[in-house]
Amino acid sequence: MARKILIQLDGDPQPSTFDSVVAVDAGADVLLRHGNVTPDAAVPLVHGAMFTRGGDDLASTAIFVGGSDVAAAEAVFDRVRKTFFGPVRVSVLLDPAGANTTASAAVVAAGRHLPLGEPAAVATLRAVVLGGTGPVGQRVARLLARKGVTVTVASRSLSRAEQVCERIASAVPGSRLEPATADSAIIAGTPFAIALAEADLIVAAGAAGATLLGTAGRKMAGRARVLIDLNAVPPAGIEGIAATDKAQQEGSAVVYGALGVGGTKMKIHRAAIQQLFASNDAILDAEELLAIGESL
């Protein structure tokens, strides 16, 4: 069998060593690491993957698209897919800045406690995604919306939240999304306060070291059965949640911190790399990574 070659297409000047180490641990034999990759620059690199091996051996070449600029990585991912034709293709995984694996792991964690797989029950569920405009938050919101959850996308800027809701709604027809301004001093009766009070699930996907929900906000979110904070850098994104919390019972809620979700994220990442080499036509974005996470 041909050796497993993973081609890293990274938008940053130096391709991510994190992604390289995970790839080797997941079974890649050879890494071809490219930095500063733009959509145009990706095309000849993809041709090199397409036109070298043939038949079953094509499945032993795969592409990982990463980098810290998520929008730039998405543009590369789109171009990579458009470069393929017919059966002449290799499998591709998109996980810039760990956004897809992290968002999938958060939804897997939520699904351990909420009936995300039951259409009738899920239709009654409501979630608030704090920091919902960032790469991770947008994907958490998209994955939950696709499940049928009503999702409030919270941001410090209503227009940014509205843009995210519009983008997800066009990708997920029939989804229920509501934008809200996340005020630091939460005022009773605002859409944000109402969304917190009605939420079954709260996911904090704010920037590292930013607190998005303090004690008063947590009190307001009294109905929430699951709270997940993806920020690992002190202070916590949700006050009172430790980064190491993993399915920690706090009153009527279960809480997870970033490290509590991180183990699942790593498992999804490794399993996704392995899945790349199972065929030559896998396209792994957030939805496919969630399916992998749910099957672990």
Ligand X SMILES: NC(=O)c1ccc[n+]([C@@H]2O[C@H](COP(=O)([O-])OP(=O)(O)OC[C@H]3O[C@@H](n4cnc5c(N)ncnc54)[C@H](OP(=O)(O)O)[C@@H]3O)[C@@H](O)[C@H]2O)c1
Which residues in this chain contact ligand X in the complex, by CB under 6 A? Answer: 97-98, 102, 131, 133-137, 155-157, 160, 205-208, 210, 212, 230-232, 258, 261-262, 265
Measured CA to CA, the distance from residue 82 to residue 244 in angstroms comes to 41
Looking at the DSSP assignment, which residues form a beta bridge with residue 179? Answer: 153
Minimum distance of ligand X from residue 221's CB (angstroms):
17
Minimum distance of ligand X from residue 3's CB (angstroms):
29
Cβ distance to ligand X smaller for residue 156 or 167: 156
Cβ distance to ligand X smaller for residue 10 or 49: 10
Cβ distance to ligand X smaller for residue 233 or 291: 233
Write the CB contacts of 223 (distance below 8 Å, at least 6 apart in sequence).
Answer: 197, 198, 199, 200
Q: In 3D, which of 8, 11, 131, 94 has the Cα closest to residue 286?
A: 94
Minimum distance of ligand X from residue 117's CB (angstroms):
24
Minimum distance of ligand X from residue 136's CB (angstroms):
4
Give the residue closest to ligand X by C-beta.
134
Cβ distance to ligand X smaller for residue 39 or 135: 135
Cβ distance to ligand X smaller for residue 223 or 267: 267
Measured CA to CA, the distance from residue 222 to residue 249 in angstroms comes to 14
Cβ distance to ligand X smaller for residue 105 or 253: 105
Distance between alpha carbon 59 and the CA centroid of its chain, in Å? 25
Question: Is residue 230 a contact partner of residue 106, using CB atoms and an 8 Å limit?
Answer: yes
Minimum distance of ligand X from residue 250's CB (angstroms):
20
Measured CA to CA, the distance from residue 175 to residue 144 in angstroms comes to 9
Minimum distance of ligand X from residue 113's CB (angstroms):
19
